[in-house]
Structure 1
Amino acid sequence: MNSFLSNAKRSCGEFLSSFKISQSTILHMVLGNNSCDLDSCVSAIVLAWFRSQMKNGNEVYVPVVNIERKQFRTRTEIAYLLDHLNIDSRNIICIDEANVRELSNVGKGFFHLTLVDHHVLLKSIEYLQTYVKEIIDHRPQLIELPSRIKCNISLVGSCSTLVAEEMLKNKAFSVPSVVETLLLATILIDTSNLSVDVGKSTPRDEAVVKQLSGKRTKDELNLLFRSVADAKFSVSGLTTEEIILKDPKWIENSLETIMMSTLHLDVREFFAREDSIDVIRNYCATHNLLAWVALAPVINQFKPIALYCEDDEVREKIIEKLIVSDLLLVKTSDEDHARSDVKFLRMYNCKNTRKQVLPLINEVLQQRSSNLSA
């Protein structure tokens, strides 16, 4: 794996200069989503690696994680798993190292793109849409996609499950131990160790875990899950801004953006930080965010939701949308840690994650876009 990643990084760096001399190679980038969680990173790495093993022709497969290098250290579970498997993280290509703007100028015949763990590009890189050849994603489809794009969009617990299924269909292909561990760790993290109570896993996730596990015992799988989970939820040494950027997702309309963070520490502990409100306010202002929303770990049988939005009308519409949802079971909250700048809610259906919350907030955002353009 180290050899593949090192060669891929070198190929990505050399492609533009060599393209000017000889137009004989196609660079095929496999791009993860902009939250760059473990699933997005591993899906990109493993799919690019597998396709490179199977390729017939002149395509060079390059995995790219959709995050800037300076933010990579906040993905503590990725750093832990790579180190655990002796994979050099310096060979991981970050989005700011990939020269995507320059690559988009070489023409569709020589630059291809596969999206993993997402199917909607951010506005900042939506110029890449014309190069998308394939999509592999495990979230609900939000937009209509062109028929020219090969799509595998299935509601499973982890995108890595879909990547693993492609490999496992090839009975003649032997999956190396390091790749098995990358995929197993990711699927277990995404499904909370295949927990029935949490309800994130599907029979397809379970089947893939069974196939990949081989001779690994249940105790070994539990240990793998626990060690990566501990790393994921570690915020040791991170600044307040790095904490809100540790696990973010963005939704957009044509003009505005909302960011939703998953906080990996108690909401009371986070807002006890003296700079918490200033960091949120400054980040929203600097990045022109309409609102910031956060989902925190369970407290007393509910998940806290924090909402910062300076637009009173938008804030109230988001709160109303979440409260009226029969799925979420959200109620207003007046906590001791509450700050006048932030509104707090309680979500009592603790099986829900951002996957259930974000579509509702997106409805508010898209309705606002319709109203603004009317």
Structure 2
Amino acid sequence: MVGSCATLVTERIIQKAPQILDQQLAQLLYATVLLDCVNMAPAAGKVTPKDSQYVAVLETRFPTLPPRGALFQALQNAKFDVSGLNMEQMLLKDMKAVSGSLNVAVPVLYITLKEFLQRSDLEAELSAFCQKSGFDLLLMMTISFTESKEPIRELVVFSHSASCREQVSKYLEQAHNPALNLSPISCPHPHISAYQQGNTLASRKKLLPLVKDFLRECDGDGCLGDTEEESEVPPTPMNSLVDGCPLDEGLPRITAEDLQDKLHQMESADL
């Protein structure tokens, strides 16, 4: 376990192909590790000894790399700039997905919970996103920072299924590995449960295994089998390179006459 996958990439390059490591590649790797590990600050709970080791290696081999503080702040400002993004873009900006009894999206939102809940037409926007992307539930983690650069994490659970929302919320409230230390927050939206997260070191990387464990238990117990009817047509894949899917309008209609015509064409071709 490391704070940044770029640390593992750096390690592999240095061990297996050091000749490809030039200034540009070093800066790309260096910048990514700094951003993922919150400028190597132990208080953020991200950095590991291996992350620190390879940041130091890059700094030693390439002494002209930009100063840590300035580089991190520039990247952090860009990362948290969500001005001009609509709801779908905000959710897709940094999203993971987990599937089992439910299709669950787990985005990170770079705004405060208060700002998020004050958005007009919030539930309609979340509903439209779920319908378009085929998700049963959204589990959103907001991240912001205090003036002293300490993280503030909050959780938002959205689903039109009350049973689904309540079961996921209860599971996360009772979680111990790690304990999230969730405190419910009053929310004006009927299909949303909101929480202050006391354990600010529990990032999404530590939340995802809890979600997977919950889905695994439900797959075994069938506890969510009656929450939603399955769609007759699967949704368009999230990473599709086209705007639509051939099955968006349902399965193609094939009549007996169409089938006979096709058989005649095949027989003619054989002759």
Provide the TM-score with structure 1 as the length reference: 0.54
Aligned ranges for residues 155-174 of structure 1 at < 5 Å? 155-170=1-16, 173=19
Stretches of structure 1 that go unaligned for 5 or more consecutive residues are 1-154
- Which structure would you say has the larger Rg? 2
Query: Structure 2 residue aligned with 1:297, among 143, 158, 172?
Result: 143
Which residue in the other structure is 2:181 paired with? 330
Correspondence 1:227 to 2:78: no
Using a 3 Å threshold, how does the CA distance of structure 1 residues 172 and 342 change in structure 2: closer, same or farther?
Answer: closer
C-alpha deviation, 1:224, in angstroms = 0.9
**Do the aligned partners of 2:185 and 2:196 also contact (CA within 8 Å) in 1?**
no
- Taking the TM superposition and a 5 Å limit, the aligned residue runs for 1:277-296 are 277-296=123-142
Q: How many angstroms apart in 2 are the aligned matches of 1:320 and 1:331?
A: 10
SS at match of 1:235: coil
- Displacement of 1:219 in angstroms is 7.3
1:169 is paired with a residue whose SS is helix
Residue in 2 that maps onto 1:17 = none
Deviation at 1:172, TM superposition (A): 5.8
Tell me which residue corresponds to 1:50: none
SS in 2 for 1:315: helix
* Alignment of structure 1 residues 69-148 onto 2, 5 Å: none
Counterpart of 2:59 in structure 1: which amino acid? Answer: S
Q: Is the 8 A contact 1:294 1:306 kept in 2?
A: yes
Amino acid at match of 1:192: V
Matched, 1:250 2:101: no
Match of 1:308 in 2: 158
Look up the SS of the partner of 1:362 in the other structure.
Answer: helix
Moved more, 279-288 or 226-235: 279-288
Q: 1:274 to 1:203 in 2, by over 3 A?
A: same
Structure 1 range deviating more: 218-227 or 288-297: 218-227
Distance 1:308 1:251 in 2: 15
**Alpha-carbon distance in 1 for matches of 2:161, 2:34:** 39
Q: Following the alignment from structure 2 to structure 1, what is the Cα–Cα distance between the partners of residues 110 and 19?
A: 38
Alpha carbons 1:298, 1:350 under 8 Å: kept: no
The answer for unaligned runs of 5 or more in structure 2 is 226-271
User: Aligned partners of 2:5, 2:30: CA distance in 1, in Å?
Assistant: 12
Q: CA deviation at 1:365?
A: 1.7
Mapped partners of 1:196, 1:232: distance in 2 = 20
- Show the 5 A alignment for 1:154-193: 155-170=1-16, 173=19, 175-193=21-39
Cα deviation, 1:216-270, whole Å, max 9, x if unaligned, reads 47971211111111111111211121111111110011x6310011001112112
Q: CA deviation at 1:191?
A: 0.8
- Where 1:297 maps in the other structure, the secondary structure is strand
Deviation digits for residues 175-214 of structure 1 (CA, Å, limit 9, x no counterpart)? 2111011000101111111111112111111111011113
Per-residue deviation at 1:277?
1.6
**1:279, CA displacement in angstroms?**
1.0
Q: How far apart in 2 are the matches of 1:365 and 1:257?
A: 9
Distance 1:343 1:370 in 2: 25
**Could you give the per-residue CA deviations for residues 24-79 of structure 1, whole angstroms, max 9, x where no partner exists?**
xxxxxxxxxxxxxxxxxxxxxxxxxxxxxxxxxxxxxxxxxxxxxxxxxxxxxxxx
Contact persistence 1:257–1:289 (CA under 8 A): yes
| SS of alignment partner, residue 67 of structure 2 | helix
Amino acid at match of 1:223: A
2: CA distance, partners of 1:165 / 1:232: 25
- Residues 261 and 293, structure 1, Cα contact 8 Å, conserved in 2: yes
Displacement of 1:163 in angstroms is: 1.0
Deviations 1:273-311 (A, max 9, x none): 213221101111232212001111247875210000122
Determine the C-alpha separation between the residues in 2 that align with 1:284 and 1:338. Answer: 20
Q: 1:328·1:347 contact (CA, 8 Å) conserved in 2?
A: no
1:329, distance to aligned residue in structure 2 (A): 3.5
- Residue in structure 2 matched with residue 360 of structure 1 by the alignment: 210
